[in-house]
Amino acid sequence: MSYDKVALIGLGLIASSMYWAMKRAGMAAHVSGYARSSETRETARRIGLCDTVCDSAEEAVKDADLIVLAVPVGAMGRVAEAIAPHLKPGATVTDVGSVKKAVIDEVGPHIPEGVNFVPAHPMAGTEHSGPESGFASLYDNRWCLIVPHGASEEATAALETYWQALGANTQRMEPAHHDLVCAVVSHVPHLIAYTMVGVADDLRRVSDQEVIKFSAAGFRDFTRIAASDPTMWRDVFLTNKEASLEILGRFTEELFALQRAIRTGDGDTLFDYFTHTREIRRGILQAGQDTDAPDFGRIRKE
Ligand SMILES: NC(=O)c1ccc[n+]([C@@H]2O[C@H](COP(=O)([O-])OP(=O)(O)OC[C@H]3O[C@@H](n4cnc5c(N)ncnc54)[C@H](O)[C@@H]3O)[C@@H](O)[C@H]2O)c1
Ligand SMILES: O=C(O)C(=O)C[C@]1(C(=O)O)C=C[C@@H](O)C=C1
């Protein structure tokens, strides 16, 4: 089953990349879009993002077969409530939120009888946000996690086919497992990057710009991650509290162990630890999942 009309609610990095990927794939679907701010809607019109940019979410979802909620996690419930009375029977609502249990709890109760809700989460992104940050290849060879949670097999399979057409590989996952996995591979690493850049900034005040001036690749990688959208990440930590705290606890334990190894001059422990982590990086590269940032010199529609 393919969708004749797709509505994108929220027109930032994730939705705009979906639009360009749909066009690249030659999907015939008519795409309507809506974002809360009139400035974003104007930008979308100017750059040709979406076939129709609507001034209300209700108008955008009218007659849509697939509705994609691409707003910060904390706004998902409100948006779902607003569009619920205007959804077409048989339509599928999905989302792209970085957290799944909270989205299911907030959005699920608003989905009317006869409408499918299939939560999803593309494991792809950048530190950029807004309607002009998207590009067609964002999802190529990346994972999109599908969290059916009671949706019909037909609706779930159709959404998988859709994401595969956008270039992604799909995998089904349970909500709680999803949130734990993402806390490990995405959420807590972001928190660590935010913290490290904050620490360096503190130091900068006493070291006269040296931290910025001499920062090499390692620290620059941290600053890229720490430049990510504050609203999105605030919502991620507020809504994935349990798993984030669990992983942070484990992180702190490991950090203390390494701290102790440094203090006691235990080179073997440090060497073994770093050897093991290097193998993990090599494993990721071999699986073709290098997470290096995309080249933003490329044309958006490429
Ligand atoms: N950025 C990433 O790396 C990434 C990756 C995967 C998933 N996600 C998830 O995708 C979602 C969108 O992220 P993004 O990076 O595209 O963000 P973004 O900041 O680029 O875009 C968000 C869009 O939502 C709009 N918006 C905010 N509140 C709204 C509301 N109440 N009603 C209508 N529109 C509203 C904003 O105007 C903007 O157009 C988030 O839930 C995020 O967790 C992000
Ligand atoms: O590549 C980046 O900049 C990202 O942060 C993308 C990233 C990640 O942590 O991998 C961020 C949030 C998501 O929900 C999914 C992907």
pLDDT tens string 140-199 = 999 999 999 889 999 999 999 999 999 999 999 999 999 999 999 999 999 999 999 888
- Of 96, 102, 93, nearest to 129 by C-alpha is 96
30, β-bridge pairs: 5
Distance 287 CA to ligand 1 centre (A): 28
Pairing state between β 52-53 and 116-117: unpaired
- Of 71, 67, 138, nearest to 98 by C-alpha is 71
pLDDT at 206: 59
Q: Which ligand is nearest to the CA of 71?
A: 1
**51 and 76 Cβ atoms separated by less than 8 Å:** no
Choose the residue to mutate in 8, 11, 13, 296 for probing ligand 1, maximizing ligand atoms within 8 Å of C-beta.
13
pLDDT at 216: 72
Q: Which CATH class is domain 5-173?
A: alpha beta
Q: Report the C-alpha gap between 20 and 31 in whole angstroms.
A: 11
Distance 215 CA to ligand 1 centre (A): 30
pLDDT above 70 covers what percent of the chain? 92
Q: Is 72 in the pocket of ligand 1 (CB under 6 A)?
A: yes
Positive or negative, the CA dihedral 104, 136, 9, 3 is negative
The answer on pLDDT for 203 being more than 80 is: no
The answer on pLDDT for 72 being more than 70 is: yes
pLDDT at 190: 96
**Would you give the DSSP letter of residue 84?**
G
Q: Is 123 in the pocket of ligand 2 (CB under 6 A)?
A: yes
Atom of ligand 1 at shortest distance to CA of 236? 43
Q: Do domains 5-173 and 177-286 have the same CATH topology?
A: no
Atom of ligand 2 at shortest distance to CA of 124? 16
Which position has the token pair 């190894």? 261
Residue 144, classed as helix, strand or coil, is strand
Q: Is 126 in the pocket of ligand 2 (CB under 6 A)?
A: yes
User: Torsion angle, CA of 49/54/56/60, rounded to 10 degrees?
Assistant: -80
69: exposed, middle or buried (Cβ count in 10 Å: 0-12, 13-18, 19+): buried
Distance 56 CA to ligand 1 centre (A): 17
**193 and 226 Cβ atoms separated by less than 8 Å:** yes
**Residue of the nearest CA to atom 6 in ligand 2?**
125
Atom of ligand 1 at shortest distance to CA of 231? 19
Write the CB contacts of 203 (distance below 8 Å, at least 6 apart in sequence).
211
pLDDT level of residue 14 (50, 70, 90 thresholds): very high
- Four-way CATH pick for 177-286: 3.40.50.720, 2.60.40.1150, 3.30.930.10, 1.10.3660.10: 1.10.3660.10
Atom of ligand 2 at shortest distance to CA of 291? 1
Q: Report the C-alpha gap between 20 and 14 in whole angstroms.
A: 10
Distance 14 CA to ligand 1 centre (A): 7
pLDDT level of residue 1 (50, 70, 90 thresholds): low
Q: Report the C-alpha gap between 33 and 256 in whole angstroms.
A: 48
Q: Report the C-alpha gap between 232 and 89 in whole angstroms.
A: 31
Residue 222, classed as helix, strand or coil, is helix
Q: What is the pLDDT of residues 79-102, one digit of tens each?
A: 999 999 999 999 999 999 999 999
**63 and 38 Cβ atoms separated by less than 8 Å:** no
Atom of ligand 2 at shortest distance to CA of 190? 9
Whether the pTM exceeds 0.90: the reply is yes
Distance 123 CA to ligand 2 centre (A): 6
Atom of ligand 2 at shortest distance to CA of 186? 9
- Domain edges within the chain: 5-173, 177-286
